[in-house]
Copies of this chain bind each other. A is one copy, B any other.
Amino acid sequence: MRPRVAVLGATGRMGAEAVAAVEAAADMDLVARLGSKDSLESVVDAGATHVVDLTVPGSTEANVRFAVEHGLHAVVGTTGWDESRRGRLEDLLARHTGVGVLIAPNFALGSVLATAFAATAARYFESAEIIELHHPDKADAPSGTAARTAELMTRSRSEAGREAMPDATESGLDGARGAIVGDVPVHSVRLRGLVAHQEVLFGGPGEQLTIRHDSFDRASFMPGVLLGLRTVASRPGLAYGLDAYLDLGA
């Protein structure tokens, strides 16, 4: 069935991108766009079958619960869905079988794939490091994405029984070998002109594998949002992370 989509948070920057992306998609219809002052009831009045929530942490939970209670599938890009919120939502979904919700901290397909590939490859190489590169106005180093990637790689290495990485460094300057997250060195580069970029490097005897993701623009989230809208009705219950909808086998 052709999705009839309502965008919540349509006046924000991400919401406006979503409105444009849904309108441009040939296989779904945009039936409502809501700002922060619009009533959720209008979503029902418009005959929506799906909602996209790109609002703020303070309102996303109420929005999604409203959608589920009215039998609408939801694709959610708003942050703030900690474990207790997700637990309550799963309880609600248990009483509304057939409704699907996707909550994704990251909708950029390339970034989600890069992280998944890095977690897989980490089982198979002696050495692995991460270089993340961002604009110089970023306040944290390393980036959240790099830290999460390093944690997933560390878990993969542990499951595969990998030993500590080889490193003969004896003398040097503080910081040269990066920050250690789990057991993965992470290096943060800050350059004027960049947006958000990450490179995961793996080394084994005689070979190197590199997985790089470049994010140039927030338009990168839209193919993931559309993929979510096309898939969510066939996946009842709660999915957390876009990788749940990706076919990652070769």
Contacts and interface: CB of A to CB of B under 8 A. Distances in A.
Contact of A175 (B110, B138, B170, B178): B178
B166 A136 contact: yes
Given A179-B174, A216-B206, A250-B248, A125 B110 contact: yes
Nearest to A170: B139
Interface of A: 108-111, 113-114, 116-117, 119-121, 123-129, 131, 133, 136-142, 165-181, 185-195, 201-223, 227, 243, 246-250
B117 A211 contact: yes
Contacts of A142: 172-173, 176
Contacts of A127: 136, 190-193
Name, among A167, A209, A243, the residue most crowded by chain B CB atoms within 10 Å (CB to CB).
Answer: A209
A191 B201 contact: yes
State how many copies of this chain the complex holds: 4
| Of A126, A178, A194, most B-chain CB atoms within 10 Å | A178
A168 B119 CA distance: 30
Nearest to A250: B116
B168 A136 contact: yes
A201 B175 contact: no
A168 B110 contact: no
B187 A168 contact: no
Contacts of A129: 189-191
B209 A195 contact: no
6 contacts: A117-B250, A119-B250, A127-B191, A131-B187, A140-B170, A187-B189
Contacts of A140: 169-172
Nearest to A152: B250
A247 B249 CA distance: 9
Best-buried of A120, A125, A189, A211 by chain B (most CB within 10 Å): A189
A137 B213 CA distance: 22
Given A171-B139, A178-B175, A208 B214 contact: yes
Residue from A121, A136, A203, A248 having most chain B Cβ neighbours under 10 A: A203
A92 to B, nearest CB: 27
Given A173-B181, A176-B188, A205-B217, 19 more contacts: A110-B208, A127-B193, A133-B201, A140-B170, A166-B192, A174-B174, A174-B175, A178-B187, A187-B189, A191-B202, A191-B208, A193-B208, A193-B220, A205-B219, A207-B214, A207-B215, A211-B211, A248-B249, A249-B249
